[in-house]
Each structure stands twice: as structure tokens, then as C-alpha cells.
A and B are shown apart, each in its own frame.
Chain A
């Protein structure tokens, strides 16, 4: 058994909660690995020390006091208290949804041409038109403006 695998089972091993075959395998590893044996010893010593912790008891009569409160009938199922933290989180989520929706909406709309776009387009038209023979349409222009001489090239 490798150290990594043994370490994963060390806690259960020292708590005697491992099945026998695994426990035997970990025990064999500890016999051969001083580092893991030291880690196991640390766990055991920590348990020993924590057993010296206090075990305070409540003042006598706690059961009677609890039962008296129950008998008095002032027991109600507690309702969830208003939480500012929850309210702020919810408001944040709603705000993000609204902003996201607006951004998505405006991105889905075709962009209106700006003044600069129109000016550039007009310049392009003028320069191309002057280079063409008189009456020639721009490539891709609406066929309704096509001169009669090109009628036969019109798409069926």
C-alpha cells in the first residue's frame, strides 16, 4: 500500500472503523512507514487529549423549563425571518436579468445607418456612377432602375 492511500484511511483506522482486511493492510503499511506511523500516532494522541475536555451540564431543571414553555402554548412554528442579505441578492439577480435582456434586445435589432455611413455610401455611389457608361446601373442595384437595353439580362 502506498502512503497516499494509507493516509486516506488513517482516520478510520485509528478510530477502528475500517473493515478487517483494510485495517490489516494499513497496519502493515504503518509497520514499514515511520512517517505514516507518526501521523497515526498524532491522531491517537489528539483523541486522548480531547477526552480531557470538559463535559459541562446545563443547570438542573432544563427539561422542566422546556416542557413549561410547551405547556404554556406559546409554541409556534417559526416563520422565516426577513433577510436583507437574501433581498439584496435577489434584487441583484433581477437587475442583471433586466440589463442582460436589454442588451440582448438592442443587439438583435438591425443597426440604423449613421450620418457618416450615409455620407460614405453617397460618395461611393457618385464615384462609381461617374465611371460607368451613361445609364449603367451599379452592380447589385435594384433591377427596376436597369436601362431598357439590359432588359434581356434580367433574371427570370
Chain B
């Protein structure tokens, strides 16, 4: 069912469950990844993603469109993650890469086995570096760089000014770069190979 979020939300508010299903389909992946990076537990992440979307449906009548549906759902997910961590269900957060939690091939896997193994090793190092960032920096990096939210959207999710988002993202990227110092050359080559040169605009310094 095509349609922008605003139309689908209005239809869902009017009782159209198919419209809400489309919204769920659209955002479940993003919400799942966001939650997973927060709780570092695949089962808990899936439960919390379900809870987030069910709660969004339950509260849909109260949604007035002051922000986008996407940032609203992210905010629900964020609050549930905070509740989950406060309740102590996840235990103390350990420094652990996402590669240790989910079984997933690295992005843009190479055909060559040697390249694939070095790519997986690099992905593990990248995940470890992301996990090592302090929560407030990691959250912004995940939202902006991994999930593609704008600064404004990230500010709405994290409930902070846009300037704070920019400052945290700046710090997070520089910290990530420092943590991955030994892998920069390899990462650049692999990232370029993985994108097949199709994303040159992203990699080239403006």
C-alpha cells in the first residue's frame, strides 16, 4: 500500500489496520536495529520492537503530528529501552560487538574468502568501537550515521537541541576514527570495494 507516513497515520487513526501494518513493515527494521544496539540482546530486541509498535498503535489516537511518525516511534522505542535497562532485565551492559549477538554476514560481502574474512574482522572491530562509545554519543551516531536520520530527527528522538546532536556526532565520529586507527586504510579500501564505487560521493571529501 503506497502512501506517505502522514496519510497512513490518518488512515490508521480512522481504524484502517492495513495502513498501520504498512507503517509496521516500513519501520520494524530500523526500530529493531536501534533497539538491538541499545540492549545487545537479539531476543529482547525483538520483544521490545514488538512492544514499541504495539504501543504506537495503542497511542495512535493521541498522535497529533507535532513530529514525524518515524521520530515518534523511535522515541517510544528509546523510552522502552531505558525502562528495560532500569529494570535490570538486561543486566549490566558489557562491552560486546554486535557481531557477537547476531549472526549476520558483513555488509557487501566479498566473493574472495580472504577478503570476506578480513571484512568480517573489520566489521567486528567497527562494531566493537561503536559499542565502546558512551551511550549519548553512540545513540546519535547510530541514528544519524547508521540509520540515516537527519540532525533534526535525531534531536527529536533524543529530546535535545540540534546543536547538541551536531556536537555529539562530531565527537562520536572523531572518537570512532581514533579507536579504529589501525584499520583506517583497510576500512577505506573495503568500503570502496563494497559500494563498488557507486557511492563515491559519500567517500570523497567535498
Contact = CB atoms under 8 A, between A and B. Distances in A.
Interface string B48-75: 0110011101110010000000000000
Interface residues of A, number: 42
A42 B173 contact: yes
A48 B53 contact: no
A50 B46 CA distance: 23
Interface stretch (A11-19, A91-99, A111-119, A126-134): A11-19
Interface stretch (B2-10, B22-30, B88-96): B22-30
Interface string A15-36: 0110000010001000000000
A52 B46 CA distance: 23
Nearest to B147: A55
B145 interface: yes
B98 interface: yes
Nearest to A43: B173
A31 B56 CA distance: 49
Contacts of B172: 46
Contacts of A16: 201, 206
A150 B194 CA distance: 113
Contacts of B136: none
A52 B57 contact: no
Given A12-B166, A52-B187, A75 B57 contact: yes
Contact of A49 (B55, B151, B183, B195): B183
28 contacts: A11-B173, A16-B201, A43-B173, A44-B205, A45-B177, A46-B172, A46-B173, A48-B188, A49-B129, A49-B176, A49-B180, A50-B141, A50-B146, A51-B194, A51-B202, A52-B119, A53-B98, A53-B107, A54-B99, A56-B32, A58-B45, A62-B46, A66-B54, A66-B57, A69-B50, A71-B17, A77-B62, A78-B55
A46 B176 contact: yes
Interface string A58-89: 11001101110111000111100000000000
User: Chain A: interface secondary structure?
Assistant: helix
A71 to B, nearest CB: 8
B127 A54 contact: yes
A33 to B, nearest CB: 14
Contacts of B129: 49
Nearest 8 CB-CB pairs, A to B? Answer: A46-B173, A58-B32, A46-B177, A56-B102, A42-B177, A49-B187, A48-B191, A46-B176
Contacts of B99: 54
Interface string B139-172: 0010001100001000000000000001001101
